[in-house]
């Protein structure tokens, strides 16, 4: 399946906007993603392996959290996962300034 990587996380996927992975479920796909790009792991999952609450994963157009089987939902090769990050920017540089450069 194809996983769409948002800009803020592309720093951890060698700048790739999409990553192709194999997996029978959403969870398996995400596991394959972080196996291929280990630096992503800390950004997507908590230390006990749960998807971080500020990261949203969509299977096609649906929020995985609201699917009946959630992360265990079955996926086919044609499905797309999209990671939606929290972004707060409104003006560009001052966004990062307000968050990290004070």
For other proteins, the closer of residues 24 and 60 by Cβ is 60
CA-CA distances (angstroms) from residue 75 to 36, 48, 50, 53, 67? 19, 24, 19, 22, 12
Of the residues 14, 42, 50, 72, which one makes contact with other proteins according to CB under 8 A: 42
Phi-psi group of 65: left, alpha or beta (phi > 0 → left; psi -120 to 50 → alpha; rest → beta): alpha
Of the residues 24, 72, 74, 98, which one makes contact with other proteins according to CB under 8 A: 98
Using CB under 8 A as the binding rule, whether residue 66 contacts other proteins is answered as yes
As measured in angstroms, the least distance from the Cβ of 99 to other proteins is: 5
Using CB under 8 A as the binding rule, whether residue 46 contacts other proteins is answered as no
Query: CA 54, CA 73: separation in Å to the nearest integer?
Result: 20
How many residues at the interface with other proteins, by CB under 8 A? 36
């Amino acid at each position: 399946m194809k996983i769409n990587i948002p800009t803020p996380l592309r720093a951890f996927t060698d700048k790739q906007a999409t990553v192709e992975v194999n997996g029978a479920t959403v969870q398996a796909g995400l596991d394959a993603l972080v196996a291929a790009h280990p630096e992503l792991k800390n950004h997507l999952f908590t230390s006990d392996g749960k998807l971080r609450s500020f990261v949203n994963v969509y299977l096609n157009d649906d929020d995985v959290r609201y699917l009946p089987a959630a992360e265990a939902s079955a996926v086919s090769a044609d499905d797309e996962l999209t990671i939606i990050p929290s972004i707060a920017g409104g003006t560009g540089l001052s966004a990062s300034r307000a968050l990290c450069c004070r």
